[in-house]
Amino acid sequence: MVASFDRVNHDMLMARVARQVKDKRVLKLIRAYLNAGVCEGGLVTARREGTPQGGPLSPLLSNILLTDLDRELEKRGHRFCRYADDCNIYVKSEKAGQRVLESITHYLEKTLKLRVNREKSGVGRATQRKFLGYTMYRRQETIYLKVAPAVLARFKGDLRQVFRRGRGRSLGRIIEELNPKLRGWMAYFRHIGVRGVLAELDGWIRRHLRQILWVQWKRSFRRAKNLMRLGLSEEMAWKTAQNGRGSWWNAGSTHLNQALPMRLFARLGLVSLVSAYHRLKCLT
């Protein structure tokens, strides 16, 4: 269940903030923050509802308002996880889930004057729903965390943008841009219980880098010359350079993997998600 804060009622929010904050000067500043105008097309319009998106105060205000939701769920005896406006409630059956979704949606919209994002809210098994980018899977009697498929697809899309920009640059420059993204993503998803997806993602990244090199080499003569320099025999280098296959196929071929192995990318400083995962696990 996901609540939307672009329609939050200011009076409703300020009443709950006043329970925690007694200094009237602070309350006045918060009210001014909420009422700050929005600049659209060069024109400033007054804000009568909603919290400013991206502001440092907005997450705190959302938590203050949704404390009432936490208390309501506790009163009903539900098990739940909530972070900011994202909340998962766990019940025993789909029928119970539908009933709770309807009643909590009614509570949020009528009591707290919030709008529930119905496209992102729904009922399903814990292994089918995602929470903060994670989802769960069961192996025998043990439950593990894994990266939600939609989140993984979005991350790959971000990396593809780097690969597209890198077609005219050196591998070193591309890797410099990739590494902060890889480190940050792995640090966030350090709690996953399976590393297979990380090995696959590492291989996918290296294949894209090999493809960039293959395209940069352009002509068969240059490709053969570089492949020989990287250790392939003259016969194999020429056979690979003139095979007529596309760049993506060649990037995944045995011969190009032999010429551009994993250890070469490690020497260039490319972050390995598998290695970063093991390192983070040792620290925790």
Q: What is the pLDDT of residues 167-210, one digit of tens each?
A: 778 889 999 999 999 999 999 999 888 788 999 999 999 999 99
Specify the pLDDT at position 181: 96
Tally of CA atoms within 13 A in the half-sphere of 224 that contains its CB: 14
For residue 7, the model assigns a pLDDT of 65
Residue 245 half-sphere exposure toward CB, CA atoms < 13 A = 15
| 105 C-beta neighbours (distance < 10 Å), count | 17
| Averaged pLDDT for residues 70-99 | 89
pLDDT digits (tens, 9 = 90+) for 212-247: 999 999 899 999 999 999 999 999 999 999 998 899
Q: What are phi and psi of 117, to 5 degrees?
A: -75, 100
pLDDT tier, 41 (very low <50, low <70, confident <90, very high otherwise): low
**Per-residue pLDDT, 49:** 67
For residue 226, CA distances in Å to 24, 217, 222, 233 come to 72, 8, 6, 11
CA–CA separation, 215 vs 250, rounded Å?
10
pLDDT of residue 169: 86
pLDDT score of 33: 78
d(CA 97, CA 87): 13
| pTM of the model as a whole | 0.78
